[in-house]
């Protein structure tokens, strides 16, 4: 086997290891199913409250849970799962504190939720120890934008902030589904030389895996730094947006030797 063939095999092994690593740090199917069951129960509890502004409340995932790019925080077993609690009978004319308190008071009426509840700037957190945190952000319809856009509270600023989790997710999904053209040459080398090779596994959903790798790299890079540096770590939405824009630019335009070359190209394009 010549050097070129060995290089191809090494990269294919690396791709397999990256896929394995991403699987280890994301929500398992069982965890995702449990989270879905629990936030469905929470949604029904909120919507069945006596207060008319809570009627027809719906809860749906946003962020990494919706985009399927979850990454378990470093040195912690729990995942963070972000949820939107949309209240269709509310509006931006209501005070942020009123809507925030309305959801919190209803959650406190539940014997189990009461013991798990913690206020956060944009809503409420339910702590399922050793499993995940469910961060629930109340949202009111954004009548000015329409199309499913919402306004979410910022308690520190005492103001409503524009958001569109459903629109962002649709944009992300559309780009993530772009077919990446991969050369078959490397796979022919592997089949001819070292069949079978269990690690020769294609990355499942390249954009989602790349986002997961970047978020984990971010976590490791800032973990050992000071508190001030930790506050400067790029938030996940910035990494996800830049990676998605770069993926959109390069995914369907070239034939890549493998997913690792796709990753390297995307990283080079992101600063643009």
Residues facing residue 151 across a β-bridge: 140, 162
> What are the backbone dihedrals phi and psi of residue 210, each rounded to the nearest 5 degrees, phi first?
-65, -40
Q: Which two tokens stand for residue 24?
A: 């280890």
Per-residue model confidence (pLDDT) at position 118:
95
Cα–Cα distance measured from residue 249 to residue 196, given in angstroms and rounded to the nearest whole number: 35
In the chain, pLDDT over 70 holds for what percent of residues? 88
Cα–Cα distance measured from residue 188 to residue 241, given in angstroms and rounded to the nearest whole number: 35
CA dihedral for 190, 191, 193, 199, sign (positive or negative): positive
Nearest to 64 by CA among 119, 25, 13: 25
Least confident of 77-91, 112-126, 175-189, 196-210: 196-210
Question: What's the CATH class of domain 29-163?
Answer: alpha beta
Cα–Cα distance measured from residue 148 to residue 9, given in angstroms and rounded to the nearest whole number: 47
Three-state secondary structure readout of the chain: CCHHHHHHHHHHHHHHHHHHHHHHHCCCHHHHHHHHHHHHHHHHHHHCCCCHHHCCCEEEEECHHHHCCCCCCCCCCCEEEEEEEECCCCCCCCCHHHHHHHHHHHHHCCHHHHHHEEEECCEEEEEECCCEEEEEEEEEECCCCCCCCEEEEECCCCEEEEECHHHHHHHHHHHHCCCCEECCHHHHHHHHHHCCCCCCCCCCCHHHHHHHHHHHHHHHHHHCCCHHHHHCCCCHHHHHHHHHHHHHHHCCCCEECCHHHHHHHHHHHCCC
Asked if pLDDT for residue 173 goes beyond 80, the answer is: yes
Which residue ranges make up each domain of the chain?
3-26+172-269, 29-163
Asked if pLDDT for residue 197 goes beyond 60, the answer is: no
pTM, whole model, 2 decimals?
A: 0.86
Tens of pLDDT, residue by residue over 66-117, are 999 999 888 776 788 899 999 999 999 999 999 999 999 999 999 999 999 9
Per-residue model confidence (pLDDT) at position 189:
38
Nearest to 240 by CA among 108, 76, 88, 66: 66
Per-residue model confidence (pLDDT) at position 232:
84
Asked if pLDDT for residue 263 goes beyond 60, the answer is: yes
């Amino acid at each position: 086997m010549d050097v070129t063939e060995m290089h191809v095999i090494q990269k294919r092994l690396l791709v397999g290891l990256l896929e394995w690593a991403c699987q280890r740090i994301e929500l398992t199917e069982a965890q995702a199913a449990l989270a879905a069951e629990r936030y469905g129960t929470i949604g029904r509890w909120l919507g069945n409250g006596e207060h008319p502004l809570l009627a027809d409340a719906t809860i749906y995932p946003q962020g990494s849970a919706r985009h399927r790019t979850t990454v378990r925080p470093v040195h912690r077993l729990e995942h963070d799962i972000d949820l939107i609690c949309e209240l269709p009978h509310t509006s931006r004319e209501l005070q942020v504190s009123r809507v925030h308190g309305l959801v919190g008071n209803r959650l406190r009426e539940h014997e189990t939720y009461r013991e798990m509840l913690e206020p956060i700037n944009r809503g409420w957190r339910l702590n399922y120890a050793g499993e995940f945190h469910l961060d629930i952000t109340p949202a009111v319809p954004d009548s000015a934008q329409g199309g499913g856009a919402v306004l979410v509270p910022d308690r520190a600023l005492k103001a409503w902030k524009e958001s569109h989790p459903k629109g962002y997710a649709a944009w992300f999904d559309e780009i993530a589904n772009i077919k990446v053209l991969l050369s078959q040459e490397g796979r022919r080398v592997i089949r001819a030389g070292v069949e079978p090779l269990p690690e020769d596994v294609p990355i499942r959903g390249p954009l989602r895996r790349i986002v997961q790798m970047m978020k984990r790299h971010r976590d490791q890079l800032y973990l050992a730094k000071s508190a001030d540096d930790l506050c400067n770590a790029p938030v996940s939405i910035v990494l996800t947006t830049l990676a998605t824009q770069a993926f959109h630019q390069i995914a369907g335009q070239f034939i890549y030797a493998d997913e690792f070359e796709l990753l390297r190209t995307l990283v080079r394009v992101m600063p643009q």
